[in-house]
Structure 1
Amino acid sequence: MILVEVGFLCFLFSFVAFAKLNMHVLSLLISLEALMLSIIVFLYSLVMNLEVSSHFFLILLVFAASEAAMGLSLLVSMLRLRGNDYVTSLNSLSF
């Protein structure tokens, strides 16, 4: 049961970090990964406590891995295109 509380607490901290640290895209991606990790910990603890199948846990793990790969590829392409990773430079009119 302590794992559920740790997962929920990590979710709250990473959500606050996502809301407050929004100057660089890299900090947003790291806080999104922290959100996904806390959701995975929370879901894993619920799966272990309720003793149900772990299909949802594996699906969320696959989505977290694909989200990380997509975020890093977008960050690299943005750095090559613009030279910085500021959120304010993500204006759709500047393409």
Structure 2
Amino acid sequence: MNFFFFFFFFGLVSLIYIRKHLLLCLLSLEFVVLSLLLMVFNMCLMSNCFYIYILFMTFFVCEGVLGLSILVNMIRFHGNDYLNSIYLW
């Protein structure tokens, strides 16, 4: 179980320190999601409740698609994927 927490912590640290490009932030976020999915799968192996695993996979796939659509829209409208090019009012 400590192995999965190490993956989760490493993903969060990389998400905090890499803040320049949106693609790198999405990759570190997917690393966190993968570690959470492995933790849920390990828990489902012990308790035989795989419907929760399918539910988590559905949410994580939707999160990945949303992140990629934001990335494509940023590249189309701004020409790059720098996070500092987003103007938040």
Report TM bin, short chain.
over 0.9
Alignment equivalent of 1:52, drawn from 48, 54, 62: 48
- Percent identity over the alignment is 29
Give 1:73 shift. 1.0
For structure 1, which runs of at least 5 residues remain unmatched after alignment? none
TM-score by length of 1: 0.87
Match of 2:25 in 1: 28
* 1:68 counterpart = 2:68: no
Structure 2, unaligned stretches of length 5 or more? none
Looking at structure 2, the residues matched to 54 and 8 of structure 1 have their Cα atoms a distance apart, in angstroms, of 21
Q: CA RMSD in A?
A: 1.1
1:3-43, Cα deviation, whole Å (9 max, x unpaired):
x2221110000000000011100001001100100000011
The match for 1:8 among 1, 5, 10 is: 5
Question: For residues 88 and 15 of structure 2, what CA distance do their matches in structure 1 show?
Answer: 22
- Give structure 1 regions of 4+ aligned residues with deviation exceeding 3 angstroms: none
Match of 1:92 in 2: 88
Aligned mates of 2:54, 2:13 — CA distance in 1: 26
TM-score of the pair, normalised by structure 2 = 0.92
Structure 1 residue corresponding to 2:77, chosen from 37, 59, 81: 81
* Partner Cα distance (1:20, 1:8) in 2: 18
Count of residue pairs the alignment pairs up: 89
Deviation string, structure 1 residues 44-69 (Cα, Å, up to 9, x no partner): 111112x2312221111111111111
